[in-house]
């Protein structure tokens, strides 16, 4: 349970429609909690798209301590049937001694977008 409100500077939000190396930077010694919404579509080719948000820590003191996919949506297009999908996932990461970043990759999607809304603790 969160018993106090964050200051305005601790509210970190981001969005992207293309692969993006740094959506949100989590500083050292801070927790970040957020809702991540991903939507994607596949064109008429037979493909599987897996747009994802990944946590990359700067060292092993972070949590998770290794690069980890935190949110993903899978869209499968078969033959000439375009498909779409979306998902919202809650995440929590810890910046450890040196911090880390959240990134987004479209991973074969014809179109994809991500929105992250959260705050530092």
Q: How many domains does one find in the chain?
A: 1
Q: Which residues contact 1 (CB under 8 A, 6 or more apart)?
A: none
As a whole number, the mean pLDDT across the chain is: 93
78 within a domain of the structure (yes/no): yes
4 within a domain of the structure (yes/no): no
Is omega for the bond preceding 31 within 30 degrees of 0, making it cis?
no
CATH code for the domain in which residue 107 is found: 2.60.120.1010
100 within a domain of the structure (yes/no): yes
Domain carrying residue 80: 11-120
Global pTM reads: 0.91
What local confidence, expressed as pLDDT, does residue 81 receive? 79
2 within a domain of the structure (yes/no): no
3 within a domain of the structure (yes/no): no
Kindly state the tokens that stand for 62: 């972070």
How far is it, in rounded angstroms, from Cα 30 to Cα 21?
20
Q: What is the pLDDT of residues 35-55, one digit of tens each?
A: 999 999 988 678 889 999 999
What local confidence, expressed as pLDDT, does residue 79 receive? 76
Q: What is the pLDDT of residues 103-114, one digit of tens each?
A: 999 998 899 999
């Amino acid at each position: 349970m969160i018993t106090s409100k964050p200051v305005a500077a601790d509210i970190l939000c981001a969005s992207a429609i293309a692969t993006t190396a740094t959506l949100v930077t989590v500083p050292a010694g801070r927790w970040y909690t957020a809702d991540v919404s991903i939507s994607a579509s596949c064109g008429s080719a037979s493909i599987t798209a897996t747009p994802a948000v990944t946590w990359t820590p700067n060292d092993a003191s972070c949590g998770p301590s290794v690069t980890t996919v935190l949110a993903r949506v899978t869209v499968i297009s078969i033959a000439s049937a375009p498909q779409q999908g979306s998902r919202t996932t809650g995440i929590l990461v810890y910046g450890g001694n040196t911090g880390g970043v959240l990134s987004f990759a479209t991973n074969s999607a014809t179109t994809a977008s991500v929105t992250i809304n959260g705050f530092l603790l």
